[in-house]
Amino acid sequence: MQTTRRGPAQVRRAGVAEGGVRRPAARLLAWWAVLLVVMLALGWLASRVVTRSELGHAETEVSTELASDRTPAWNDATRILTLFGDTLPVILVGLVAATVARVVLHRWREPALIAAALLGEVTIFLLVTLLIERNRPPVPKLDDSPPTSSFPSGHTAAALVLYGSLAVIAWSRLRSVPARALAAVLAVALPLLVGAARVYRGMHFVTDVLGGLVLGAAWLAAAVHGVGRAAPSTDPPRARGAA
């Protein structure tokens, strides 16, 4: 059987490409570890300090007031908004978006960004909720209460990394200013609306939502930077003479 031997130049290029992926991946893992520590520290403050402070009492009053002023219309509206950060819809939207990006753009950068954003967020979220114990607001809840800590809001974080990564992709690929603006507005508005809906429905305190926003924004920035640094070795080579 005939084997193809690579010349010194090909070996060097392969080594550079492999190193170009490993270094950003290692940095991304380091950022993940740092963010995990930061979120654990914030969770400890929320559960041990904020809960017993005036801020904690104010948060409880906000949750109590919202629960007492609920209406059928707002109950339905917040139920729909919550779906934008629910686990199953987020996974389905992420899979569809990654598949479409791969088929349309013929490269792995955009699917890798979506996957890295969602995977990193959910792993940090799960570890924090396992290690931090914070009770949910003492009000009637409109959703099933999962056996995880109230801090941080996973719905808020998931919505931010998903729609934020889609907005980053849209911003880099679209040339229409209104389309770019719409993508940016949705990436900001949807997580905020999801977080507000979770507070209204008695599932989280306001600081839980703020924690979700910190987690989502910080990890999205890390994923964009990390995947962007690794992107040249994952994209297919361009044909000679291409513009």
CA distance 156 to 236: 35
Query: For residue 174, what pLDDT is reported?
Result: 86
In this predicted structure, what is the pLDDT of residue 134? Answer: 94
Q: How far apart are CA 153 and CA 155, in angstroms?
A: 5
In which band, very low, low, confident or very high, does the pLDDT at 24 lie, cut at 50, 70 and 90? confident
Encode pLDDT of 39-55 as tens digits.
999 999 999 999 999 99
pLDDT of 39? 98
Residue 21's pLDDT band, with cuts at 50, 70 and 90, is: low
Query: Quick check: 106 pLDDT over 80?
Result: yes
The pair phi, psi for residue 108, each rounded to 5°, is -105, -5
Task: Tell me the average pLDDT across 16-42.
Answer: 83
Q: What is the pLDDT of residues 64-93, one digit of tens each?
A: 999 999 999 999 999 999 999 999 999 999
Confidence check: pLDDT of 36 > 60: yes
Average pLDDT, the chain: 87
At 189-239, the pLDDT tens digits run 999 999 999 999 999 999 999 999 999 999 999 999 988 755 544 445 444
Residue percentage of the chain with pLDDT more than 70: 85
Which percentage of the chain shows pLDDT scores above 90? 74
CB of 129 closer than 8 Å to CB of 148: yes
Nearest-Å Rg of the Cα atoms of the chain is 21
Question: Contact at 8 Å (CB) between 44 and 135?
Answer: no
For 124-156, the pLDDT digits (tens) are 999 999 999 999 999 999 998 777 889 999 999
Q: Is residue 121 a contact partner of residue 155, using CB atoms and an 8 Å limit?
A: no
At residue 6 the predicted structure's pLDDT band, cuts being 50, 70 and 90, is low
Residue 152 contacts residue 205 (beta carbons within 8 Å) = no
pLDDT at 15: 44
As a whole number, mean pLDDT of residues 172-196 equals 93
Cα atoms in the 13 Å half-sphere on the side-chain side of 82: 18
138 vs 15, more confident: 138
